[in-house]
Structure 1
Amino acid sequence: MAKPVASIIFKAKLSRPAEPKAATWSFVVLPAAASKQLPTRSMVTVDGTMEGQAFQATLEPDGQGSHWFKVEKKLREAAGVAIGDSVAFEIAPVEKEPEPSVPADLKQALAGNAAAKATWADITTVARRDWIHWITSGKKAETREKRIAVACDKLASGSRRACCFDRSGMYSKGNMGAPAEAE
């Protein structure tokens, strides 16, 4: 059993994404020293506080060996902070990763493939999240459709992991990363 990670305390700037221009959410990139204390370079869900306001978030890899996450407007307002502020955080990985939300198109494809659905039900939460991330990271609708078909074929044949998927984003040629910051 993995040793629990102690709370990680840091300050970070709250930034607005450049796109979409009308975004109401903001984001935080963890300082490298804080990110290095996490158990993985890939996605990891944490419980935490932002200026004392509790939240849970799934941190995403930034492709540079660190992590980033969205901060919704409601949390920002509850914490009494503004975009551009340096904000105090305390985070710790959750004991059990939450079940990911399965997109409707993938759910429909799995429903039509009993063997794929059986493997899906048998894999770990993190593996399901990886499959979903691989499928949804395609930029074009055709890519997503193709990835769903490939995923169902692989799952039906017993494959438990999305092959060759770089969970850290460090080797993915820019497919993962924090949003660009608005000026």
Structure 2
Amino acid sequence: MTAEREQNMAKSKLSVRFEAALQASGARTVLRLPDAASKKLPSRGQVAVHATINGHTFDTVIEPDGEFGHWMSLDEGLQKAAGTGPGKKATVKVEPREEWPEPRVPPDLRATLSSAPREVQELWHAITPRARWEWVRWVNATKNPDTRKRRVEVTISKMSSGKRRPCCFNLASCTDPELSKSGKLALD
């Protein structure tokens, strides 16, 4: 365990333990936190956590479900490592972290940022990883290609004027376009 990880654990001292069944939704596998577990977390929005599922540890960002709860997506590799899958129960522990992992910046936003004015690129690197997560989440929150293109353009425009975070969107809503309906997690 790194010294940074130990410091983060000492600061938060919050460890939320629970059991939950994994659910398939389309091509995705989702673990929805029980209400009691979500209520213990420090935010109704995204929460960066160090997680353990069936003894397998990893860092992730838990997403809001739009109903004051949380969920996380589990890829096939993680499911295999944890020995679990859709329909199976898993033993889970999550510990909120102060340090956020870097988001996966989608190719369209990454390309636009790389060709943006220097001050926008500098601001992107100066903002916190959590703020970068918010920009990425806002851009990704639509299925409509025209809306998405406009959001990428607006990101650059807002950052050009010094804005460090997107405004005017509910941070506690479910924004995953594959799993969201009217801002709420909608599983098959």
Give TM-score, length-normalised by structure 2. 0.83
- State yes or no: 1:149 paired with 2:132: no
In angstroms, what is the RMSD of aligned CA positions?
2.2
User: What's the CA shift string for 1:7-55, capped at 9, x where partnerless?
Assistant: 10011111111x2xxx2x4211101110111111111221121122223
> Quick one: distance in 2 between partners of 1:72 and 1:112?
32
Aligned residue in 2 for 1:126 = 130
Q: Which of residues 86, 97, 101 is equivalent to 1:98? A: 101
Q: Work out whether residues 12 and 31 of structure 1, in 8 Å CA contact, stay in contact via their aligned partners in 2.
A: yes
Give the superposition deviation at 1:136: 1.2
Q: Work out whether residues 29 and 85 of structure 2, in 8 Å CA contact, stay in contact via their aligned partners in 1.
A: no
User: How many pairs align?
Assistant: 174
Q: Work out whether residues 29 and 178 of structure 1, in 8 Å CA contact, stay in contact via their aligned partners in 2.
A: no
Identity %: 35
Residues 119/78 of structure 1: CA separation in 2 closer, same or farther (3 Å cut): closer
Q: Work out whether residues 16 and 40 of structure 2, in 8 Å CA contact, stay in contact via their aligned partners in 1.
A: yes
Aligned amino acid, residue 122 of structure 2: A
Aligned amino acid, residue 116 of structure 1: V
Is 121-130 or 80-89 further displaced after alignment?
80-89
Q: Work out whether residues 48 and 98 of structure 2, in 8 Å CA contact, stay in contact via their aligned partners in 1.
A: no
Give the superposition deviation at 1:179: 4.6
- State yes or no: 1:56 paired with 2:59: yes
User: What's the CA shift string for 1:82-136, capped at 9, x where partnerless?
Assistant: 4212221111112310111222211221222223222222211111110111011
Give TM-score, length-normalised by structure 1. 0.85
Give the superposition deviation at 1:76: 2.3
Q: Which of residues 65, 81, 101 is equivalent to 2:68? A: 65
Q: Per residue, is there more helix in 1 or in 2?
A: 2
Aligned residue in 2 for 1:16 = 24
> Quick one: distance in 2 between partners of 1:160 and 1:58?
20
Unaligned 5+ segments in structure 2 are 1-7, 175-179
Residues 122/80 of structure 1: CA separation in 2 closer, same or farther (3 Å cut): closer
Unaligned 5+ segments in structure 1 are none
